Amino acid sequence: SGAEWWAQVRENGHKEEAIQFHWDTDEAAVEGHNVNVHPHCSTVTYLTAIGAPTLIVDRRNSLRPDDVEPARGPIRSGQLSYPSVGKHIVFDGQLLHGTVPRSCGAEAGQERVTFLVNVWLNHRPSNCHRVDDSLAERLGPEAEGHVTFSGEHTMEEVEMPSSVDDANVDKLEVQFSRCEGIPEEDVARHRLLLSLPRPPAELRTKPGATQLLRWPESSGVGLWKASDEQAKV
């Protein structure tokens, strides 16, 4: 058991601002044993109030990387978390997540900085190593510096309309693939289709909103197989 951690920096407005949708997994287990092993929980701590919100949806990964069909299907719920300094979110480590760049008033070039921690129980990712003593001494309550928390954050439940093409929502359609340890010709591409509410108007003055999203069964949102034609786009 233990915690795997790293920092991530993305520049607002950059072509690589988005973080591709993915499942957190032990990549060495994928490559060496053809099995997906996930952390007990995944966490995000925002160190700036800049950039794309995190989107987590209720699609769990398949057990075997080369058997992707169990991962696909309709999506009924999700969480959209906008950055705010010191805001901390925790979610099931088996869930699909990524970021969705949105127009929230931040200037291009400003940096979205996050601190990510995955908590593993009864398993340690093969490529992780114990923190050395010199670094460990700089962590914890005696470490210099601190993060000033930005206060309480709003949480809103949003019932989404029955169509992704509704004029009052933003349509999200992205493709991604997971190909570690799988021959390129066998890589399967996923197509994520969702509708998202427009960014809250108060984000400019009060960052850090969290929206709990619910999609009706008739909406057609979900994680699907990308057709050969779509995969070439």
pLDDT of residue 142: 53
What's the token pair of residue 147? 């993060």
**What pLDDT sits at residue 151?**
59
Tell me the pLDDT tens digit for each residue of 107-152.
777 899 999 999 999 998 887 888 888 888 877 665 455 555 555 6
Output the pLDDT for position 230.
Answer: 45
Whose tokens are 């407005």? That residue is 13
Query: How many helices and strands, by DSSP H and E, does the chain display?
Result: 3, 13
What pLDDT was estimated at residue 135? Answer: 83
Q: What does the pLDDT look like over 31-87, one tens digit per residue?
A: 889 899 999 999 999 999 999 999 999 999 999 988 889 999 999 999 999 999 999
Task: Output the pTM of the full model.
Answer: 0.87
Answer whether residue 106 shows pLDDT above 70: no
Q: How far apart are CA 152 and CA 29, in angstroms?
A: 39
Q: Do residues 2 and 124 make contact, with C-beta atoms less than 8 angstroms apart? A: yes
Closest CA to 3 of 144, 153, 180, 140: 140
pLDDT at 147 (0 to 100) = 55
Write the pLDDT tens digit of every residue in 25-42.
Answer: 998 898 889 899 999 999
Q: Is 175 within 8 Å of 189 (Cβ atoms)?
A: yes
Place of tokens 């009052």: 168
Cα–Cα distance measured from residue 170 to residue 173, given in angstroms and rounded to the nearest whole number: 10
Burial of 220 (C-beta count, 10 Å sphere; 0-12/13-18/19+): middle
